[in-house]
Amino acid sequence: MSDKLIKIVRFIGLGFLEPIIRLSRGEETKKNLTEILKKIVAPLASTLLFILLWQSGATALYNTEAEYRIEKAFKDQGQKAADEMTACIESGEVNCQPNTLPSPSQVKASFNSLLKDHKTISADKKAFKEKTADLNKKRIAEGKDPIVYTGRPSFVDQIITSIKTVFAGFLLAIFIAVPIGVVIGLSETLRSSINWLIQIFKPVSPVVWLLLVFMIVKTLTKDSDADSSFIISFISVGLCSMWATLVNTVMGVSTVDKDILNVAKVLKLGPFQKVFKVILPSSLPLIFTGLRITLSVAWMVLIAIELLAQSPGLGSFVWEEFQNGANDSNSKIIVAMFVIGIIGFLLDRIMLTIQKFVSFNKNEGA
C-alpha cells in the first residue's frame, strides 16, 4: 500500500517525502536518514542561508541609505537637522524611513497586510453584490446592464487575473502552434518555405509583439467600448510564447521513427489515421516539452506585457506599487516577486506531471 503512496508522491513531484515515508515504515534507517539529510535538511538550510544573506544585505543597504540621509540633512541644514533626522529614523516614523531593499520581516508584514486588504475588499464586494442583487434583477428584466462592482481589485484578484490571462494566452498558443506545427512538420516543402519566418519571429521581444497586437486590436475594436487590454495582453502572451511549441511540434512530427512509419504503411493506414494514430502520439513527448517551455515563457512575459498594456494583473500591480512609492511599496513588490516565482514553479510542476503521463521512451517499441 505504501508503495502506491510513494509512487503517487513521486508522480506529483513531491519525491523528497519518500525517505520520510520509508523511514516511518522502518526501512533501511541509515540510508533513509542520509536521504532526508540530502533532500530535506540541505534545501531547508540553503533557504535559511538565503534569508540570512538577504537580511544582512538589507540591513547594510538600510544603513547606507540612512547615513546618506543624515549627512545630507547635515550638509543642507546643519547639525540640528541631522540630529532630528537621526531621531526620526530611529523612531521608525513613516515619512523619513530610508527607501531601499526591504528586509524579510518587512516583506512578511506586507504579505499579511495584502491578505488583510484582500479580506476587506472581498467582504466589501460581497456586501455590494447583496445590496445590488434586487436592483440588478430589475435592471436585467428592463433590458439594462447590471451594475457591477468597480472598486479596487485586491492582490489576490490580481493574481487570479494574471493566471486567467496566462491560460488564455497558453490556450491560444496551443491552438495556433500545434496544428500549424503538425502541418509544417508533415511537409518538407512547407518546412523549408516557412522556416525562415519562424526563425525571424522567434527572437522578437515581447514588447514588440505587444505593440503589434495593439496596432491590430485597436483598429479591430474601434466600434466596441469594451476593455481591450485583456485581449491585447493575452494575445501578446500567446504570440510570444507559442514558438517553443511550434518548433518542437515541427521537430516531433518530422522525426517520427522510420520503423513506425513503415508500420503505418504496411498496415495501410489512411492519411487521417496515420496522423492521428501514429504521427501525433509518437510526437506527443516532444510537443509536451514544447508546451512546458511555452507555459513558463508565457508566465515570464506576462508580467512585462501587463505592465505595458495597462491590463490588470500582477504586472500592473508591480508597476503601480513602484509608481506609488509608499513606504511599504518596495516590500509589496518583493511579495509580488515571490508570488510570481512560486506560481511559475507550480505551473511548471503541473506541466512536468502531465508530460510524464504522456511520455514514453522512443525505443520502447523496439
Partner 1 sequence: MAYLELNNVNKTYGKGANATEVLSNINLHIEEGEFVAIVGFSGSGKTTLVNLINGLLQPTSGEVLFKGNPIVDTSHERGVIFQNYSLLPWLTVYQNISVAVKETFPKESKQFRDERVKEYIEMVSLTPAINKRPKELSGGMRQRVSIARALAMDPEMIIMDEPLGALDALTRGNLQDEILNIWNKDKRTALLITNDVDEGIYMADRIIPLRPGPNATLGPEFKINIERPRDKTSLNDDPEFKKTRNGIIEYLMEIGEERSTSTDETEYVLPDLEPKYFD
What does the binding site for partner 1 look like in residue numbers (CB under 8 A)? Answer: 259-260, 262-263, 265-269, 273, 277-278, 281-282, 284, 360-362, 364-366
Is 162 in contact with 301 (CB distance < 8 Å)? no
- Sign for the CA dihedral angle at 76, 78, 83, 88 comes to negative
Please, what is the minimum distance in Å from the beta carbon of residue 14 to partner 1?
25
Nearer to partner 1 by Cβ, of 192 and 359: the residue is 359
Please, what is the minimum distance in Å from the beta carbon of residue 358 to partner 1?
8
Please, what is the minimum distance in Å from the beta carbon of residue 349 to partner 1?
23
Calpha distance 134→7 (Å, rounded) = 52
Q: What proportions of the chain, in percent to the nearest 5, are helix, strand and coil?
A: 85, 0, 15
Distance from chain centroid for Cα 103: 24
Please, what is the minimum distance in Å from the beta carbon of residue 256 to partner 1?
11
CA neighbours closer than 13 Å in the CB half-sphere of residue 120 = 9
Q: Which residue has the cell 536521504?
A: 35
Please, what is the minimum distance in Å from the beta carbon of residue 214 to partner 1?
42
Nearer to partner 1 by Cβ, of 130 and 259: the residue is 259
Please, what is the minimum distance in Å from the beta carbon of residue 362 to partner 1?
7
Nearer to partner 1 by Cβ, of 184 and 284: the residue is 284
Sequence-separated (6 or more) residues with CB below 8 Å from residue 234: 165, 166, 168, 169, 172
DSSP-assigned letters across all residues of 49-75: HHHHHHHHHHHHHHHHHHHHHHHHHHH
Q: How many CB atoms are located within 10 Å of the residue 119 CB? A: 11
Nearer to partner 1 by Cβ, of 160 and 280: the residue is 280
Nearer to partner 1 by Cβ, of 78 and 365: the residue is 365
Nearer to partner 1 by Cβ, of 276 and 345: the residue is 276
Please, what is the minimum distance in Å from the beta carbon of residue 313 to partner 1?
38
- The CA angle 159-240-176, to the nearest 5 degrees, is 100
Helix-helix angle 229-254:280-309, to 10 degrees: 150
